[in-house]
Each structure stands twice: as structure tokens, then as C-alpha cells.
Amino acid sequence: MYEIIENKSIGEGVNVYKISAPDIAAKALPGQFVILRVHKKGERIPITIADTDKNSGYITILVQTLGKTTHLLSELKAGDELADLVGPLGIPSEIENFGTVVCIGGGFGIAAVHPIAKALKNAGNDVISIIGARRKDLLLMENEMRSASSQLLIATDDGSYGTKGFVTDILKRLIVDDKKNIIRVIAIGPVPMMKAVSDFTKQYNIKTIVSLNPIMIDGTGMCGACRVLVGGETKFACVDGPDFDAHQVDFENLVNRQRFYKDEEKSSYECHRKEHHKEQ
Amino acid sequence: MENKNKEQIILNTKERLKIKRHDMPAQNPAKRVQNFKEVSVGYSIEEAIEEAKRCIDCKVPYCIQGCPVSIDIPAFIKLIEKGDFLGAAKKIREKSSLPAICGRVCPQEDQCEKACTVGKRKDSTSVAIGNLERFVADYEAEHGKKNNVSNGKNLYDKKIAIVGAGPSGLAAAGELRQKGYRVSIFEALHEVGGVLIYGVPEFRLPKSILLREVQILKDNGVEIFTNVVIGKTITVDELLNEKGYSAVFIGTGAGTPKFLNIPGEELNGVYSANEFLTRINLMRAYNMNEYDTPMKCGKTLVVFGAGNTAMDAVRTGLRLGYSDARIFYRRSRNEMTARLEEIHHAEQEGIKFDFLINPIRFIGDEKQNLKQVECERMELGEPDESGRRRPIPIKGSEFVADIDAAVIAIGTNVNPIVPSSTPGMDLNKWGYIIADEKTGKTTKKGVFAGGDIVTGAATVILAMGAGKNAADAIDQYLKTDIW
């Protein structure tokens, strides 16, 4: 049913998967995600849809191996099947002709910002994209981002590629030095990066959208595990988001909620690796 | 056996009334809190026959009127008395496709058993109709050799789509299949059952029993597609216009949890009952050695609310390993909406109930993990719009309690995914679908709805009744094309 068509490693701990899912591919819009289970006793995890091919009926996802589930996923080969795959979920990103927009992808967030940048460009926007990673070899989808943007700017923490520093440094330059008339910023990546972007654009009153990644279970609005505080109100990221107005988001709460099961996640992964080791 | 029964059938009413009600045998409380196995163990053959003798076969069987799907109760009970258990099962299945489930989760004390004539007499209690229904269904599963698979025929070409595999959808599907239609169920989760799989715990309704009932539907030819979110993956309009369905029944429930909207509710350790139960029931987090979904356990768990969901959550917490699992309820014992049997079971298991307490805020540590809850004490004032006495805070009564986890079980709202993605279907001010009470007809041609998505959170059997009624109306509509 949910056949893996391709599983390719594109860097340390990051794999790109093409999965057969004609119904999802036909419907998915930028900003939406899927929930998958690798095996019958597995957990449900949310993953952003990075690309779709409606004609061939597959979706593309990028997944970083961080724990047991993503590790199991990374071991699947073309022809293997997922136990479950459901989507597209969440509200699609707002795509209009805004004017000049900046799409920021940090680390793994590049995969999530890519379809949005592509759609914004197709809608006639002047899309300036900024992508960043710790090192050059951790930078994802550079070519794809280049073709989805009118201008692509790159930052690495260690300066091994592009500008040395953070994506926010480049954003500052665009706003302060170049005095670009930026109508909207879309930022997806680690929470500290999204928060830094948000804090900065707030001073200039530039509308900023972030995509939040809290813990999810069903992904259809029935449990509230993914609840986030936005403008002081409780929202469910799976049905009200995952995109929200960055200037309204309580990032600290998001980080703390993401951390809640760290110990359990760690021991589950360690257990799995030990067993795995035994088998080999 | 046969002769003995014949002799007993001619008991007169007086003799029948003398027989005492047979309580449902249950696992010992001290033992059962250490496992997730079913609490009630079911009647033996002898107990079932003895209990069946208590039915006086009234001229006017009020019990039937008390049953939302109008099972011919005296008829199936008399068959039990004769020892014809498979016949009894067949009798029930004329009206209900999920007897093993209803026998377990229906609030019979408010339905069939409330109306039972025997129970209305002084010094007498009503016939245990639910227990008998359950006995028959379990007997059938063990001995019936699929005799219930009888209607796998396609009498009509028309296809019907059922949205949601909860009680209303399963009942509608069973009924429509029996009528000879081609039926497909679309379910958003990876398993079917709706609240029966993610909400009702294993110790009240073993999943094997749900799967058994669902397997019967499948054997009869009902198609089931999991992992399809109608409104996202496929829309209702697409089902009707592109996928070739002649009618759609929406039974998506009221699955969005309500929160208290008090400070600190976003802290780690504060769960909706839906999340708490979904992790444990659907994802099997009670068995973290085998299953991957995590769950935390601490010492003190407080569940806010006093309905069936609250009882399920607090009893689940106890089994998970919380040494102190309790209920905080803002009204008093009399206003609790949970089934008496569940409250009784909870008390037997050592659940403590604290009444007239209202939470004001949750308090966390520096990592935003829940540590305490601040509450105020309440007193009851005049009745409110629900007819129940309104709780009013007592000034200066605030106190703080140490807790490790809080579960909010104060009800649910409508889930907007299907209503908001289906143009041309009217909704009420709370977002529930407006549908005719008897037929389930919505304001959109060809679309029917029933269960919690129409009524708001109610009971399993009412949802099943709605599914069944809608099935009759769909049959009518497809035969006449009259809307």
C-alpha cells in the first residue's frame, strides 16, 4: 500500500524517501504534512511533505535519523512498505502574490520550506531564500532551493560555505543594509532559529510565519498533544497549523513540550540499538 | 438439559420474580488493577439461564422501547432460557450488528433495564439484559462457526461511503450491507472502532472483541479503508461525484477535546483524556517494551471530570502504575454522569473521589513540568440550564495539591475537518452537522449524518441507533431518489 520507491542517503543521518501515495500526492499543498508508522507496533510520527509528483503518484519526504522510529525508517529499502501513512494533514501555507518574500530554512527546516518557496515563486513573488546549516555538508537541497528562488543566500555556522554565521545575519543585512521592501518572511527550522528570526522581524513589523513541530499523535485534532500557545490562546498545530504568526507564538513553551519524552525516547533508541547489534 | 429446561419454562410469574438478579462475576479488584484484562468475566451457561428465567415476558415489553435499536429483548431472553443461545444471537442480530460491544458498554440502567417491568416492582431489580446480550454474543463467537455471516450478497449496484469507523459508522455499514448494498468505510486512524479502540480501555472492552465484530462486517463484504481522512485525503464531494458513491453517511464523532482554559494548562504532564487514552489504548503505551509510543508514570494522577471518560482515564492511570489516582469534580456525587457500574468498579479499585473542587491553575517547575494544581472548593447553588445545581466557588477556600499528571475529561467539541470541507451542508452554531433526527438526512442531497457529529458527545448505543436509522433512510432514498 505505502511502498517505498526510493530511499537515498543525502548526508549524515538524513535520508530522502519517495513513497507511493497517489491520493496524498494528488491533494498535498505546500505546508502540509503526513503521519506515518513504520511497523505494526510503531508510533505515529509527523513529517512534512517536501515534494509531490502527482503524475507518478508519489510524495517525497526528508527524514533525519534521530531515534528509534526514524532509524527503522532509514533501514527500509525500495520495495519495502510502511505500516501506515496518512495525509495530507494540516492547513496549507498561505500562497499569494505578496511581493518580496523571504523564505528561511534552517538545517532540516530547508526540506519544509522548499515547497512553500516553490509555490510562492510560482505565484509571482520575488522569493529571496536564505538557507543555513552548521557545516557545508549538512546543507540540504541547495539546488532545489536555488530553482525555487529568485535569489539564494547561504549561511554556515563555521563559514565552510556561504556567509559565516546565522541565517538571521543575512536577514539583518537584507532589511537594514539593503533596505529591501520585504512583505513577508517564512521561517522554518530549529526553534531557536525561528525565535531569533521572529524577534528580529518584530522590530520591523514584518509579517512572519513559522511552521511549528510539536509532538503529535493522531494529527487530526482529536487529542491536543500538539497544542501550542499562540497569542495566549491554545491552538492545535495539526488542524489549526502547523503555520502560525511567529510574533504570537510562545516558543519557550514549544521547546519545553518537545522535550517531555526525551528520556523515554533515548532509552527506546538505546534498547533498539542494543537488540539490533545482537541480531547482527 | 432439554427436559430440565422444558420443565422450568412453565414457571409462573410469581416464581420468576422470586429469583434474585445474578450479578456479573468480576476479577478481584486487588488483582485486576495490576492488569489490563477485562474486569467483568461474563456469565456461565447456568447463570445466563437462571437470569433469563427472571424475564416475565410482559404483554407490553417496555424494555424494547428503552433500547435505541429496538432489539426484541423478551424473544432473545426466552431463547436463552430454552438453551438456544445461537438462536438468541440471531434474534439480536436482526436489530444490532455489535451485540458483544453493546452488552458491555451500553448504560443499560438508563435504557432497556430502566424500562424493565421486573425492576419497577418493590424489592426487585430489573433483568440483567446487558449481561445476557453479552453472554449470547460471546457464546456465538465461540460456538457459532460464522453462522452470522449470511448476507454477503450484492443485491444492488449502488455503493455507499461511510465516513468514520466508530459505533455509528459500523452500525450503518452492517445494516446497509445486510440490505445488499456495497459499502466502504473510510477511517482516519490506522485502526477501526473510533472511541471503542482509542477511548474505551481494554479492561472494559477487549480489543479482540471489537476486532471480532469488525471481522464479521468484513466477512460480510464491507470494505474498510484506514488512513483516509475525509476532508483532507478525499472530500465528501469527491466521494459523491468522482468515486461513484450514491450516498455518504458521516459518523465522525465529536473527537476534539475541551480544555479548562486555565493558566498552566500547557505544562508537560497535563493531558486531554483523549491523548492519555489514545496513547495507552490505541498506541498500546501500557506495553512500552513492545510498542514504541511513550507514556510517563508518576505517583499522583488527578482526572478532572466525572463522566465515563473520566472513569476510564483514572482507572487506566491506576493500572499504568500511579499509586494515587483520583477524581476532582466540581459538583457532587449526585451530579456525576458516569455509569453507576463504572463508578462502583473505580471505587472498588481504590480510586478516590474528591467532590466540589474546581481547578484554578496548574503550577510547573523550571522545566515547565507539572508539579501542583491550585484549586478552590465549591458549593452548589441553583440549578443551571443543564438542570444540575450550579457549583459556586467558596471564597478563601483555595488550596494547592502536589500532582504529577492531570487529565482533563470535561467533554469534547466537534472536529471541524469534515464539516468545514463539505460545502452545502448546514451546521449549527457549535459546528455540529444539522441532520434529521429520524433519518439522519443533512441539508446536502445524498449526505446523511449521525452519532456525536450531530448530537455532540453522547453514548455508543445512541450513535449505533442513529447509524441504523440512517441506513434505513439511505435505503429509502436510493430506491426512490426522493430527498
How many beta carbons lie within 10 A of that of residue B386, not counting itself? 9
- A239 assigned ligand-binding residue: no
Q: Please name the member of B198, B266, B292 whose beta carbon is closest to the beta carbon of A43.
A: B292
Tell me, what's the pLDDT at B48? 96
Residue whose C-alpha is closest to residue A244's, from A31, A26, A5, A7: A31
Residue B399 shares a structural domain with residue B451? no
Instruction: Determine the residue among A19, A35, A223, A227 to mutate to test chain B binding: the one whose Cβ has the most chain B Cβ atoms within 10 Å.
Output: A223
Tell me, what's the pLDDT at B289? 84
Per the DSSP assignment, residues forming a β-bridge with A131 are: A105, A154
**Which residues in A lie closer than 8 A to residue B371 (C-beta atoms)?**
none
Record: contact A86-B227, CB cut-off 8 A: yes
Tell me, what's the pLDDT at B145? 63
Q: Does residue B4 form part of some domain?
A: no
Tell me, what's the pLDDT at B255? 83
Res. B458: pLDDT tops 70: yes
pLDDT in tens, B25-84: 999 999 999 999 999 999 999 999 999 999 999 989 999 999 988 999 999 999 999 999
Cell, residue B101: 460491544
- CATH (domain of B450): 3.50.50.60
pLDDT in tens, B98-148: 899 999 988 898 899 999 999 988 888 999 999 999 999 999 988 876 545
Res. B2: pLDDT tops 50: no
Cell, residue A156: 554556515
Chains A, B: CB pairs < 8 Å? 121
Q: Where are the alpha helices (DSSP H) in chain A?
A: 22-27, 68-74, 110-122, 142-147, 167-172, 191-203, 237-240, 251-258, 262-279
- A238 assigned ligand-binding residue: yes
In Å, how far are A44, A74, A141, B141 from A78, measured between CA atoms? 21, 11, 21, 41
Q: Tell me which residue has cell 446523511.
A: B448
Chain B CA closest to residue A22: B233
Q: Does residue B6 form part of some domain?
A: no
Q: Please name the member of B229, B274, B368 whose beta carbon is closest to the beta carbon of A224.
A: B274
pLDDT in tens, B373-398: 999 999 999 888 878 889 999 999 99
Q: Which pairing describes strands B412-413 and B256-257: parallel, antiparallel, or unpaired?
A: antiparallel
Record: contact A83-B190, CB cut-off 8 A: yes
Residue B93 shares a structural domain with residue B177? no
Tell me, what's the pLDDT at A279? 61
**Which residues in B lie closer than 8 A to residue A229 (C-beta atoms)?**
266
Q: Please name the member of A27, A234, A268 whose beta carbon is closest to the beta carbon of B265.
A: A234
- Give the residue-averaged pLDDT of B394-414: 96
Record: contact A218-B189, CB cut-off 8 A: yes
pLDDT in tens, B294-317: 999 999 999 999 999 999 999 999
Instruction: Determine the residue among B198, B228, B229 to mutate to test chain A binding: the one whose Cβ has the most chain A Cβ atoms within 10 Å.
Output: B229
**Distance of residue A230 Cα from the nearest chain B Cα, in angstroms:** 11
Record: contact B255-A86, CB cut-off 8 A: no
Q: Which amino acid is residue A260, in one-letter code?
A: F
Neighbouring residues of B46: CB distance < 8 A, sequence distance ≥ 6: none
**Distance of residue A235 Cα from the nearest chain B Cα, in angstroms:** 10
Residue B333 shares a structural domain with residue B230? no
Residue B437 shares a structural domain with residue B447? yes
Q: Tell me which residue has cell 541565517.
A: A167
Which of B100, B118, B143 is the endpoint of a domain?
B143
A222–chain B Cβ distance below 8 A for any pair: yes
Tell me, what's the pLDDT at A193? 95
Instruction: Determine the residue among A24, A86, A222, A274 to mutate to test chain B binding: the one whose Cβ has the most chain B Cβ atoms within 10 Å.
Output: A222
Mean pLDDT is lowest, of A144-148, B10-14, B205-209, for B10-14
Residue B354 contacts residue B326 (beta carbons within 8 Å): yes
Residue B354 shares a structural domain with residue B423? no
Record: contact A224-B288, CB cut-off 8 A: no
Label residue B13 by pLDDT band (50, 70, 90).
Answer: confident
Instruction: Determine the residue among B292, B320, B365 to mutate to test chain A binding: the one whose Cβ has the most chain A Cβ atoms within 10 Å.
Output: B292
**Which residues in B lie closer than 8 A to residue A23 (C-beta atoms)?**
228, 233-234
Q: Which amino acid is residue B278, in one-letter code?
A: T
- A271 assigned ligand-binding residue: no
Q: Does residue B264 form part of some domain?
A: yes
What fold does the segment set A100-259 form as a domain? Rossmann fold (3.40.50)
Residue B347 shares a structural domain with residue B270? yes
Residue whose C-alpha is closest to residue B260's, from B354, B152, B374: B374
Angle CA(A109)–CA(A114)–CA(A117) in degrees, nearest 5?
120
- CATH (domain of B121): 1.10.1060.10
Tell me, what's the pLDDT at B123? 83
Tell me, what's the pLDDT at A124? 96
Record: contact B278-A223, CB cut-off 8 A: yes
Residue A48 contacts residue A111 (beta carbons within 8 Å): yes
Cell, residue B479: 430506491
**Which residues in B lie closer than 8 A to residue A83 (C-beta atoms)?**
190
Q: Which pairing describes strands B324-328 and B352-354: parallel, antiparallel, or unpaired?
A: parallel
Per domain, the residue ranges of chain A are: 2-89, 100-259
Phi, psi for residue A74 in degrees, rounded to 5: -65, -20
Q: Which amino acid is residue B446, in one-letter code?
A: G
Mean pLDDT is lowest, of B114-123, B277-286, B367-376, for B114-123
**Which residues in B lie closer than 8 A to residue A24 (C-beta atoms)?**
233
Residue B436 shares a structural domain with residue B300? no
Structurally, chain B folds into a number of domains equal to 3
Q: Does residue B227 form part of some domain?
A: yes
CA distance linking residue A198 with residue A194, whole number of Å = 6
How many beta carbons lie within 10 A of that of residue B430, not counting itself? 9
Q: Please name the member of B190, B255, B292 whose beta carbon is closest to the beta carbon of A69.
A: B292
**Which residues in B lie closer than 8 A to residue A21 (C-beta atoms)?**
none
- Mean per-residue pLDDT of chain B: 92
CA distance linking residue B323 with residue B351, whole number of Å = 10
Residue B64 shares a structural domain with residue B163? no
Chain A CA closest to residue B293: A43
Q: Please name the member of B227, B255, B290 whose beta carbon is closest to the beta carbon of A84.
A: B227
Residue whose C-alpha is closest to residue B406's, from B357, B338, B343, B366: B357
What fold does the segment set A2-89 form as a domain? Elongation Factor Tu (Ef-tu); domain 3 (2.40.30)
Res. B321: pLDDT tops 90: yes
- So what's the ipTM on this one? 0.93
Residue B459 shares a structural domain with residue B344? no
Domain boundaries, position B265: 257-411
Residue B223 shares a structural domain with residue B269? no
Q: Which amino acid is residue B285, in one-letter code?
A: A
Residue B393 shares a structural domain with residue B273? yes
Q: Is B288 exposed, middle or buried (0-12, 13-18, 19+ CB in 10 A)?
A: middle
Q: Does residue B187 form part of some domain?
A: yes
- A29 assigned ligand-binding residue: no
- A226 assigned ligand-binding residue: yes
- A223 assigned ligand-binding residue: yes
pLDDT values of chain A reduced to their tens digit, one per residue, 280 residues: 799 999 999 888 899 999 999 999 999 999 999 999 999 999 999 999 999 999 999 999 999 999 999 999 999 999 999 999 999 999 999 999 999 999 999 988 999 999 999 999 999 999 999 999 999 888 888 999 999 999 999 999 999 999 999 999 999 999 988 888 999 999 999 999 999 999 999 999 999 999 999 999 999 999 999 999 999 999 999 999 999 999 999 999 999 999 999 999 998 898 888 887 766 5
Q: Which amino acid is residue B123, in one-letter code?
A: D
Cell, residue B261: 482554559
Which of B389, B411, B433 is the endpoint of a domain?
B411
